[in-house]
Amino acid sequence: MTNPLYDRLFMPLAARDDDFLTSSDGSVLSGREFMAIAARQANALTAMGLRPGDRLAVQVEKSPQALALYAACVMAGIVFLPLNTAYTASELEYFITDSEAGAVVCSPSAEVTVLGIVSVPVLTLGPAGEGSLTDAAAIASDTFIPAERSGGDLAALLYTSGTTGRSKGAMLSQSNLLSNALALADLWRFTETDVLLHALPIFHTHGLFVASNVILASGGKMIFLPKFDIDEVIRFLPQATSMMGVPTFYTRLLNDARFDRDLVKNMRLFTSGSAPLLAETHREFEARTGHRILERYGMTETNMNTSNPYDGERRAGTVGFPLPGVELKITDPETGATLEDGAVGIIEVRGPNVFQGYWQMPEKTAAELRADGFFITGDIGQIDADGYVQIVGRAKDLIISGGYNIYPKEIELILDEQPGVLESAVIGVPHPDFGEGVVAVLVPQPGASIDPEAIRSGIAERIAKFKQPKVIEVLPELPRNTMGKVQKNLLRDQFGTAFDK
C-alpha cells in the first residue's frame, strides 16, 4: 500500500527516538511518541465511522496533539479541514455544512455551541491535549495501517478568507502538499540538524503546510509554541536554527532591546510571508542581527509560489523567483495575454503546487483555474529586469479613479518613506466625481505625530496628482487578520463615506 504524504513526511518519525517536538513547558515528544498519538487518534476517528475521503472539520487551539491530528488524518486518508480559532458559530456552521464534514473536533469550551449547529459527531481537544478525542484515543491501539492513497487524492480542504464574497474551499491533494514541502526544504537548505522555532498558528497554510511540512520533509525538530509570545520567542531563539514568521513577528522583536546579534548567533534562516514586509523592517533587521529576512509568496490555493534566494540577493520589496517546477507569468486582466517583463498585470501560476479547484464550486473553479493549468491568483504584480517578482496589490484593491488605474502599493511605498510614518494602507472609496477617490490611512511611528499637509507636500513631486490621496486619515494601528494581512475591507467600511460631504 502507498500513501505518498504519509510515507514521506510521517512514516520516518515512527523510527525516531530523538526529540521531535519541544513545548514551551519543556516537555518533549520523540518522533515515535508523536506517531503513537497520531495512530491512536486515527483509530478513534475510524471507529466513529470516518472513511478515506471524508472531511474532518477541526477548530482547536495549537498543541502537539492538534498537530498529531493532522498526521492522523493523513494516515487514515481523511481530508483535514482546519478552521481559524476566531471563527464565530455562524461561520463554523457554513464551513461544516458546505464541506459536508463527517465529524468535528473543537475545543471543550466550544462543544455546546458546536453541538447546537451540527448533526454530525463532535469530539473535543483542548490546548493541553485534554478532551473526548484524547479519551477515545487512550483506549485505542497505537498502531494503524495507513489507508491507501494516491498523489491525486485530497489531503486537505482550506477555506479562503471570503473578504470579497462567500468563502471558497480550496481542494489540496497529497501531491500539492508534498511537492511544495520537498521543493522548499531543498531550496531553503533544511536538514535533520535544523530546529524550527514554530510560533505560527496551524489552521493556516503557512504554519501547517509550510513550516511543519518542511521540517517533516527534512527530518528536523520543532520548538512548538502555542502562539507568538515575545518572552517565549526570545527565550527559545538561542536553541533554534530557523524561524518562519509574519511581519508582525519581526517588528515586535525589533521593538525589544533583548533582541540582538548574540541572541540569534545560532540562527541560519528567518523567513517571512502571509503579508508584505516593509523595506524598513528588512534594513533594520539586518542592521540589528546581521541576518537578511527571506521573503516569499504563497496563497491558500497554491501553498508557496516564489521565494527570494537562499544564496544570492534577498531583495527587499520583492518575493523573489518562482520555485523550481513552478511557472509564473504576468497577464493582461482583460484579455489574459502574457505581458512582457516590467509590465503590471495579474499574476498567474502553474505547477504541482496548484490546487485541484474549489469544493463544489465548478463555476468559480472554471473562472480562476484555466484549462491549461494556470491559476489566476488575483494578485497584481510585475517581474523586474532581473527576474524578481514584485507584488503590487490585489486585483480587488485596484483603485479606478477618473478612468485611471491606481495601484495602492506604489503609493504606500512612498508614504512609508515620509517622516513620522510607520506604515500605510491606501484604499479606494466611492467618490461623486471620479467614481473612486484615494484615501490613505497612516500609522505614526512611536512618539511621532503626523501632519497630513506635510505628507501631501512630501509626496507631491513623487507621484502624479491623480494618484495622490484626497483624504489622509491617521490610526494607531491597521486592522489585521491572524496572519498579519491588512484588512482593507474593514478600512473601506470605516472610511467609505469620506467623500460624502
State the pTM of this model. 0.86
Predicted pLDDT of residue 161: 64
Rounded CA-CA distance 140/134 in Å is 10
Amino acid found at 57: A
Q: Tell me whether strands 375-383 and 389-394 are parallel, antiparallel or unpaired.
A: antiparallel
Q: List, in order, residues 6 or more apart from 175 with CB less than 8 Å away.
A: 4, 151, 152, 352
Burial environment of residue 116 by CB neighbours within 10 A (0 to 12, 13 to 18, 19 or more): exposed
pLDDT digits (tens, 9 = 90+) for 272-331: 988 778 888 889 999 999 999 999 999 999 999 999 999 999 999 899 999 999 999 999
pLDDT of residue 164: 45
3-state secondary structure of 20: strand
Chain-centre distance of CA 275, in angstroms?
A: 8
Q: Could you tell me if 392 and 412 are in contact, meaning their C-beta atoms sit under 8 angstroms apart?
A: no
Name the DSSP letter for residue 226.
S
Cα-Cα end-to-end distance for the chain: 69
- Express each pLDDT in 142-163 by its tens digit: 999 999 999 999 999 999 865 4
Q: Do the beta carbons of residue 254 and residue 492 sit within 8 Å?
A: no
> Which strand ranges, in their side-by-side order, compose the sheet holding 28-30?
28-30, 19-23, 221-224, 195-198, 242-245, 269-272, 294-299, 303-307, 321-322
**Residue type at position 18:** D
Tell me what pLDDT residue 163 has: 44
The pLDDT tens digits for 87-113 are: 888 889 999 999 999 999 999 999 999
pLDDT value of residue 91: 84
Sorted by sequence, the CB contacts under 8 Å of residue 138 that are 6+ apart come out as 40
Contact present, 154 and 171 (Cβ < 8 Å): yes
Residue 114, classed as helix, strand or coil, is: helix
Give 3-state DSSP helix, strand, coil % of the chain, rounded to 5.
Answer: 35, 25, 40
Q: Is the separation of the CB atoms in 68 and 42 below 8 Å?
A: no
Question: What values do phi and psi take at 412, rounded to 5?
Answer: -60, -40
- Report in angstroms the alpha-carbon separations of 198 from 66, 100, 444, 493: 14, 31, 30, 34
Helix H segments across 77-212? 89-99, 111-115, 132-138, 174-187, 205
Task: Quote the pLDDT of residue 467.
Answer: 87
Residue that is written with C-alpha cell 509590465 in the block: 343
Residues 6+ apart with CB under 8 A from 69: 38, 41, 56, 58, 60, 80, 105, 125, 133
DSSP state of 109: G
Max Cα-Cα span within the chain: 71
For the chain, state the CA radius of gyration.
23
- Nearest CA to 134 among 49, 72, 86? 72
Domains of the chain are 27-149 (3.40.50.980), 195-394 (3.40.50.12780), 398-495 (3.30.300.30)
CA distances from 15 to 10, 30, 33, 218 (A): 10, 9, 10, 14
CB count in 10 Å sphere of residue 274: 25
Q: Residue 58, exposed/middle/buried by CB under 10 A (0-12, 13-18, 19+)?
A: buried
C-alpha cell of residue 211: 513550516
Residue 406 is predicted with a pLDDT of 83
Low-confidence ranges of the chain (pLDDT < 70): 1, 161-165, 403, 501
- Give alpha helix (H) positions in 139-229: 174-187, 205, 213-218
What 8-state DSSP symbol labels residue 433? Answer: T
How far is C-alpha 302 from the geometric centre of its chain's CA atoms? 11
Which pLDDT tens digit goes with each residue over 474-496?
999 999 887 778 888 899 999 98
Retrieve residue 16's grid coordinates.
Answer: 525516531
